[in-house]
A and B are shown apart, each in its own frame.
Chain A
Amino acid sequence: MCSESANELIEVSMRMDDFSSEWMHCDRISSYIARLVAQDRPDPLYYENLFSSAMNELLETVYLNHGSEGDLTCRVRRMDETDVIEIGLPSDEKTSDFYTDVVSALDGRDIEDLYNAALFAAGQRDARLGMFELAVDYKAKITVLTSSGRLTLSTQIAFGGAQ
């Protein structure tokens, strides 16, 4: 939709097998990308910190929910105050059901309740928590696109600039 006017800032990719062999990849990739995309923002350190926090939640979600064969790609595009984080991943039925379900929940009226319930759940961790947080706390708009064994998770996010 808005891709024409958006500026591509960075794209990285690696084999999903490699990515999901080491948890700290989530941290390393989000730190690296955050550092890069924050440079042109009015308050780079503030922006980097928030961007990395958000991106890390996305990557941790992907780490735990993805198909097997293929690459992980991360792309960031800029539209003024908003950045769009596009994560491409191999997908199977279970994976695409997971993301589609989360994304449809994000539009619901009770998303804040869902978020709080997930955040303070007593038992098992809720795999949707990271995405809930982005939608509620950062007002991110998250969409999913699937095509032939791959899925693209696209997150539009703005951090309200530096204060």
Chain B
Amino acid sequence: MVMANKGVFQAGFNENNQEFIISGKLRPSNEIELESLLRGIEEAVANVQGRFYLNVKRLAYINNIAFCALHRVIAQLSSRRLDVQFVIVTSSVLGWSTRKFSAIAQRNDNVAVAEYDTEFYPGQSFLEDGGFIPILRNQTRLTWRHERDLLTQHGLQPGTDVADICCGIGDFAVLLKKEFDPSRLLALDHSRSSLEYARKIASDFGLTDIEYVYGDAAELLIADNTFDFVTCRHSLQIFDKPDMILRELFRICKPGGRVYVTNEKNSHCLGEPRADSIQWTYSEVAKLFSHFKMDVEYGPKSGRYLMDTGFEDVKVDTFMVTNRDGDPQDFAAVIQAWEDVYAGQMARDRGDSAEFIARFRQGFQDHISAALHPKGYAGWPIWAASGRKPL
């Protein structure tokens, strides 16, 4: 069941997870305009058992007229169906949402509010707390050398509207700003600590016109067809549902514009000498991430996923970051940051044994030695892919 009102809001019930979803904008002049919506909720509740979810994560606006109506219906239904637990799912991205709906929960015993986007992705906590910052800071420095030219080949033009989704600490956005001077540059992430860091760096560099935005890549509050070029780097590989993110990237991209993604295939990191130990460790990295439902082997699959999402003119490139690119110390610092997080918190959380962790760490150390060895070679392959949204 789907209902809509003048393209302003959408609502529908998903029976499989007993979830009623309302999205868009609810600003009616009176309750009568909401009649079909309210009836829809009543009918949905009539058929549920156990838990009923009212998902308002993407309900961007509600006026008090609609809120009161919604409250009245939920209060009635919840007092009638004491056997059902009502859960209102809100989003932390909207400043008013959790607070406002919590008032309903406070007044009705079997109604609760859950702010979901923060708990939504497995492994998300690793990426969102401060531990990842050293990794990201070092990585971008190394990849930029390759990507600067690639971006042009993938269609990025100066003076256009650009968004970097899952921007991390925002260093890529700063580089984009300097090199391509976009007319608009929005950088979005779901980590408040990273964004704070990003804003500080930008202001240190005197860059005032990068819009650093808190948001959820799976449910962007950005209008359709907004940007000429949308980037999403090293991030599809960390979601368990990357296709959801890709659809959002597609949606916010203008027809004729392009979406550009980079991803890794971690098991293919390599080095000499001690190739075997290095290879073993990186195959284990891939397994470790997949334990947390993240696919760091995504790189070579990215072209296919872009096509499946509806992009055309899909281009796929690979480049290898190596110790020979510039200062080998920079590469060694990246590897050390990987070891710290992967063999630290992540391996611990998976419950790995001390022996495993020791061997796991050894591969990173061998990779560092290879990077710093005057005759050594250390490599980290990356897939850059982009596609055009059809006109």
Contact = CB atoms under 8 A, between A and B. Distances in A.
Interface stretch (A8-16, A53-61, A84-92, A98-106): A53-61
Interface stretch (B95-103, B142-150, B353-361): B95-103
A44 B68 contact: no
Interface stretch (B154-162, B210-218, B229-237, B371-379): B210-218
Contact of A163 (B64, B96, B192, B222): B192
A50 B212 CA distance: 16
A137 B63 contact: no
A163 to B, nearest CB: 6
A32 interface: no
A25 to B, nearest CB: 11
Contact of A49 (B61, B63, B65, B71): B61
Interface in B38-91: 60-65, 67-68, 71-72
Nearest to B104: A120
Contacts of B67: 119
Interface string A36-65: 000100111110011011001100100000
A57 to B, nearest CB: 6
Given A50-B95, A130-B64, A119 B213 contact: no
Contacts of A125: 64-65, 68
B93 A46 contact: yes
Interface residues of A, number: 31
A9 to B, nearest CB: 16
Q: How large is the interface on B (under 10, 10 to 19, 20 to 34, 35 or more residues)?
A: 20 to 34
Interface string A121-156: 110010001100100010000000000000000000
Contact of B27 (A26, A44, A159): A26
A39 B184 CA distance: 11
B61 A44 contact: no
B137 interface: no
B94 interface: yes
Interface in B214-265: 214-215, 221-222
A49 B64 contact: no
Secondary structure class of chain B's binding surface, majority of residues? mixed
A45 B220 CA distance: 10
Given A120-B107, A137-B96, A159-B95, A49 B213 contact: no
Nearest to A60: B63
A27 B25 contact: yes
B223 to A, nearest CB: 10
A129 B67 CA distance: 11
Nearest to B65: A125
A122 B71 CA distance: 10
B199 interface: yes
A27 B29 CA distance: 11
Given A42-B212, A137-B99, A53 B61 contact: yes
Contacts of B211: 39, 43-45
Contact of B64 (A46, A129, A162): A129
Contact of B213 (A23, A46, A121, A160): A46
A-B complex: 3 closest residue pairs judged by Cβ atoms: A23-B29, A50-B95, A45-B213
11 contacts: A27-B61, A43-B213, A46-B213, A57-B64, A60-B63, A60-B64, A120-B68, A121-B68, A125-B64, A137-B96, A137-B99
Given A44-B211, A46-B213, A119-B67, 8 more contacts: A26-B27, A42-B212, A43-B212, A53-B61, A121-B68, A125-B64, A137-B100, A160-B95
Interface of A: 23-24, 26-27, 39, 42-46, 49-50, 52-53, 56-57, 60, 116, 119-122, 125, 129-130, 133, 137, 159-160, 162-163
